Chain A
Amino acid sequence: MKEELRREFQAATDSLTAKAIEGVSALVDVTLPGRRAPRGHLHPITQIAEEICTIFSTLGFRVVEGPEVELDYYNFEALNMPKDHPARDIQDTFYISDNVVLRTHTSPMQIRVMEKQLPPVSVVAPGKVYRPDSDISHTPMFHQVEGLLVDKGVSFGDLKGTLTTFAHQMFGRDTKLRFRPGFFPFTEPSAEVDIQCVICKGDGCRTCSYTGWLEILGSGMVDPEVFKVVGYDLESISGFAFGIGVERIAMLKFGLDDIRVFFENDIRFLRQF
């Protein structure tokens, strides 16, 4: 009797199990990780440079690139920095020969572009630049995006509007900006652009040296000397130019305080972006 019941129970169980297997699949541990194809990451500098170029592309700026090993003429002379000009001292330079340098900024692209075309000109030129400096806030190679707009009636107000749009798209609509006088030999008037500190929102902290402001780029109205060099008619046109440090923007956006990690290429660093 007992044996019979056991057998019957077993049969019933088997049939139920069989039905269960037939009708529904076995229980799957859905918390096991999925079969993933490996995933790569674009370098954070690439991501920020692309973001900058995209913002300016939508404002009608064409992207161009140029040489990094550059003639002294394009890097300095044509930008109103003849030899012995004290402004050359601000930028220490890697020399290849008397006439050839590693470009210290992307500004030579202003000349290269204007030599090839007449106004209107509206370009951004991203790329690598070099200065012999190495510490927590300097690397001997870094990236800039140069911008240039030349046309009839381009004003300092337009410069402010364009760079305000840029800063709003990059750092958020409510980012406060200020423009203050600066000096670049190839712009006049020249303006440094600060945004309200992204860390302390203007209250003052270590990042902004307790000023509440962070310098994000240099800019200005193209100096007449530069137009002379490329043979533009000084009286009928005007323009503005700007240079943005990509690492600077990336450090602010991602919250980094040591620029050198960008070029170490530690996989754990790259995977975070």
Chain B
Amino acid sequence: MRVSLNWLKEFVDIDQTPAEVAELLTMAGLEVEGLEHKAQNLNDIRVARILDIKPHPRADRLSICHLDAGKKEVSVVCGATNISKEHIVPLALPGTSLPDGTLIKEGRIRGEISHGMLLAEDEMGLTDDHTGIMILSNELRPGQSLSDAMDLEDWILDVALTPNRIDCASVVGIAREIGAFTNKKIRMPEIHIEEGNTPIEDLASVTVLDSHGCPRYAAGLVDQAKIGYSPFWMRYRLHVSGIRAINNVVDITNYVLMELGQPLHAFDYHRLADGRIVVKRAENGQTFTTLDGQTRDLDDQTLMICDGQREVAIAGIMGGLNSEITLNSVTVLVESAYFDPIMISRSSKRLSLSTEASYRFERGIDIQGADFALKRSLMLIAQLAGGNIAKGIIDCYPEPWSPARIRLRADRANEILGTTIDIKQMADHLSSLNMAVRAVDQNRIEVCPPPFRVDITREADLIEEVARLIGYNNIPVTLPAIRPTEEDYTEFVLRDRIKAMMVGMGFSEIITYCFISPRSADILGAGEKSHLRSFVRLLNPLSQDQSVMRTSLIPGLLSTVRLNSLRDQDDIRVFEWGKVYIKGDGELPQERQVLAALITGLGSRQEWYQEPREADFFDIKGVAENILEELGIDKTEYNRNRPKEGFDPNEYARIFYSGSEIGAIGKVSKDVLKGYGVEKNAHILELYIEPLLSSVVWVKKFTPLAKYPSVRRDISIIVNSSIESAMILSIVKEMGNDLVESVDIFDAYQGKQIAHQEKALAVRISYRSDKRTLTDDEVNNIHEGIIEEIHRQTRGRLREGRKNGHPG
């Protein structure tokens, strides 16, 4: 809410500088987000009197004004038509800067010299009015500084109100708060009314058919009002509050709204059938045209203001076109009501229509203040639009407000705050906030909050008020006892270990949005029943591309590759640790933690010591192996029984450990690359954290180091290319009794030197016993057995005698 400091000063004495007021309010919980100095550069603008106006000899629409500017007389060329001789007007002489930065210069306009410029209100940043030159009071003396003469200098505080402090959504509300923190009394605005003789009851009636929706409805009436333009001071205050001026009566309702926080509505009395006001619910399917010209669909939850025949306003939200004040209106009926917050809030949401009025009603206004605000508006209408105020007001208020009584225990307050505040001091602070305080005993007081503090209903609320007035920064700082944490959350340990390894292997962590496009399942080639299609859908996404929660981390990885490649960064190793969201039968989806890593571009960069090499399947497989080894997960199986969505069917594997699938590796399929606009090959690793967690060896066990020497033997074999190396390794392990310490594949070859459907493998076996030194015979024996078994199972050709290098 934007509020003028000069306006505030009408209600409370302020000795502080504007910056101090802003600080005071901020520390009271009404955060001042901005402080604007109004009219600070209007000092150079002078008051001038028009001595004479002549038409411009060479321009029909321009005139030449001869002006008394105090010390001298000047001529100014002007295009406005609202000025005439003897008018007092604002004049910017050459050298003056306007608030928008324009520098006024002496110049010739169509051959006539202009010694400055006459100004409209908007050109001085005072209002948004540009209908003509601002006409000033006849009492101002030519030559005076305009800003001094009219006391224009002002500060606008931009206050960010929290939803609980709706009582501060008014100038008086903020003034009250300043008063409480500076020990100053508040002056309420004047409501001096001279009533006429005709009782309002003879002219109008109010019937409330829904007293739950409308606990109070007050109305007043002014006859013979003259609708017109509001004076400058009112338009200025509305303008700085962000409200457009319309006509004097409507402006007054808005002015009182800003001043007191009570929304008002003015009806054209003669357009109200039978002079009646009926408050009732709308019917389903009805429509209604609001002031803004929009036709609104109503339902039976919408509270309406009706006349004797039809609807004339949506209660608490917006008036109707059919009864608005126009320049022809003569008699004005002003509504000042209290509507049920929840009803207004629901209607406002349903209609997507939020107004200054609904904003206040839905948070709860001061039900006791309705008649005061009504009288204030009647007084202002009589003052500014003339007319006769009908005798009395109508006030349907069947169940008057009664204050809540809340007990406050001083010891509890001090315990919560960590303070030693005296009960008397607490009582004083609460009194300064217009609360009625009564002592109960040495430790307790009974507090009745004022009707505008709808946020105060419990002891906890009072404790906060005490803390606010003491000042949060005056509450002593203490430290709670440290409670040792008893649990080690294993997933976090696993996460940190895996992340550290990924970083060590050159992968950078990315964080991508968890909402993706539903097209992702199609791009990944997901089957109809695939979990990749079990999307959690957003009802109100920001865009279609971010409308479902991800079921895979692959889209995020590939989008990242694309973004980087558009920026000429093609060699990428990235990983993400995050959740996928799989919709199931429950109300909430399954959230599964996944690690996904991607490598693309060069596996090794070109350096002075090495040739460049494209990354391939075995780069990503190495990452998987490293991590699984670190976690103590051995005997994993790389399995190709079922195709894997998104991966190249010839270059992927699912990773299993003791029967459960813990991850997958592979090359991203061409279609998927295309779907994400990625040109270069990419290889991906996925690890599923939940099954992994139950496989991790948390405490590693020591194996005694071997004391006896090892014996190495190599086998070189050419086999059909469909034979997997894992088969050979498992034969070696199986046949080697317990004497095979390790077995490594140190060469693998496919190419010109052997037949098309063949591959050559070279295996190095290390034999060792932990009980004795092995003899040559013993080793040869086992080794021969292994070779025979490999030969039998693979039908491969042995290449004995070659221990190293490629065959051929």
Contacts and interface: CB of A to CB of B under 8 A. Distances in A.
A119 to B, nearest CB: 10
Which residue, B29, B33, B542, has most C-beta atoms of chain A within 10 A?
A: B29
Interface residues of B, number: 90
Contacts of A25: none
B503 A42 contact: yes
B478 A39 contact: no
Nearest to B510: A265
Interface stretch (A8-16, A91-99, A195-203): A91-99
Given A157-B477, A158-B418, A38 B33 contact: no
Nearest to B581: A69
Given A86-B163, A189-B463, A158 B478 contact: yes
A84 B347 CA distance: 11
Contacts of B502: 40
A46 B508 CA distance: 11
Contacts of B670: none
A65 B508 CA distance: 23
Interface in B506-540: 506-515, 536-540
Contacts of B560: 265
Contact of B506 (A40, A89, A97): A40
B480 A189 contact: no
A259 B342 CA distance: 36
Contacts of A120: 483
A182 B502 CA distance: 42
B104 to A, nearest CB: 29
Contact of B163 (A128, A160, A181, A183): A183
Interface residues of A, number: 85
Nearest to B608: A32
Contacts of B162: 182-183
Nearest to A64: B489
B587 interface: yes
Interface in A90-147: 90, 94-97, 99-100, 102, 120, 122, 128, 130, 132, 134, 139-141
Contact of A99 (B472, B489, B503, B587): B587
Interface string A251-273: 00000000000111111101100
A67 B29 contact: no
A179 B472 contact: yes
Contact of A86 (B28, B362, B572): B362
B587 A265 contact: no
Contact of B342 (A40, A62, A84): A84
Given A40-B503, A267-B508, A156 B475 contact: yes
Contact of A161 (B27, B480, B489, B492): B480
B506 A157 contact: no
Interface in A20-69: 32-33, 35, 37-43, 45-46, 57, 59-65, 67-69
Given A32-B608, A149-B480, A183-B164, 14 more contacts: A39-B504, A46-B511, A62-B485, A86-B363, A90-B163, A94-B538, A94-B540, A134-B542, A157-B477, A161-B478, A161-B480, A179-B472, A188-B461, A190-B464
13 contacts: A39-B504, A89-B163, A154-B480, A155-B478, A157-B478, A161-B479, A180-B26, A182-B31, A183-B163, A183-B165, A189-B464, A190-B464, A224-B460
Interface of A: 32-33, 35, 37-43, 45-46, 57, 59-65, 67-71, 84, 86-87, 89-90, 94-97, 99-100, 102, 120, 122, 128, 130, 132, 134, 139-141, 149, 151, 153-158, 160-162, 164-165, 178-183, 188-192, 209, 211, 221, 223-224, 238, 262-268, 270-271
